[in-house]
Amino acid sequence: MLLILNTIINIEKRKKYDLIFSDIIRNLNCASEICYPDEEIKNSRLSRYDHLLITGSELFASEDNENDKQIFEIIHYFLKHSKSILGICYGHQILAKAILGNKSCRKAEKPEFGWKKVKLDSNPLFEGIENPVFYESHYDEVCNLIDDFRVIAKNDDCPIQAFQYKNLPVWGVQFHPEVDYKTGEYAFQKRLLEKPGLKKYFKNELENSQQIKQNFEIFRNFIKTN
């Protein structure tokens, strides 16, 4: 069973992402449950799950947050038992931070915002994905990884777009494979209205909206592990 750790704080946004991930996982015929960092989650509950998915968030992993301890404990439980983990955006950053500490995450020199091309290395997580373009929206980035981590994706604006930890089924991805074209376009327009200053960072490297559909294979590949 998959545990989805939804790290979004805003309740309305949290509900929206509950639906997004529930729809994706349901299409894969995978049993799943959702939990939140601000609820108490005991090891007796965690023992039911073999996969952990950590969502993005409006939080900054480069800063300390009140729910960090709970998130770290969940991550370390899954690591201790060699269970599968996939962190997305903030989840990618907090996964590195849980393993390496504060030195593994920092403010990016400039935000990454838009539909961005990403170069992928050969990896089981990326099976069936070629020359992808992903939704990107982040101010922090992962850094200072040690040899236990293998960088498996990058682009010109962010040198660590994805990593795998050791040879375990443990991955972090900076981009958002869960965001489809319609959702992404709406989110970009809304953010640019709220924060016009982001326009100078916005990049659209998407040639065809159909390119987005293959990105969901990441979830299928993740579920197949372990």
What is the CATH classification number for the domain harbouring 28?
A: 3.40.50.880
Give the model's pLDDT for residue 126: 98
Q: pLDDT class for 27, splitting at 50, 70, 90?
A: confident
Q: pLDDT class for 123, splitting at 50, 70, 90?
A: very high
Q: How far is CA 9 from its chain centroid?
A: 16
35 Cβ neighbours under 8 A, 6+ residues apart: 3, 4, 5, 6, 41
| Single pTM value for the model | 0.96
Give the model's pLDDT for residue 183: 94
45 has a pLDDT exceeding 90: no
Q: What is the mean pLDDT of residues 167-192?
A: 95
61 has a pLDDT exceeding 90: yes
Question: What percent of the chain has a predicted confidence (pLDDT) above 70?
Answer: 99
58 has a pLDDT exceeding 90: yes
Tally of structural domains, the chain: 1
Give the model's pLDDT for residue 113: 96
Q: Is residue 176 annotated as a catalytic residue, yes or no? A: yes
User: Average per-residue pLDDT in the chain?
Assistant: 94
Question: What percent of the chain has a predicted confidence (pLDDT) above 90?
Answer: 91
- Per the residue annotation, which of 51, 92, 138, 176 is the catalytic one? 176
- Per the residue annotation, which of 89, 105, 141, 158 is the catalytic one? 89
Q: What is the mean pLDDT of residues 191-214?
A: 93
- Per the residue annotation, which of 112, 136, 141, 178 is the catalytic one? 178
Alpha carbons 54 and 38: distance in angstroms, whole number: 14
Give the model's pLDDT for residue 226: 74
Q: pLDDT class for 20, splitting at 50, 70, 90?
A: very high
Pairing of strands 2-5, 51-54: parallel
* Domain around 145: 2-224
Strand 2-5: give its sheet, edge to edge.
32-35, 2-5, 51-54, 84-88, 170-173, 158-165, 149-155, 119-120
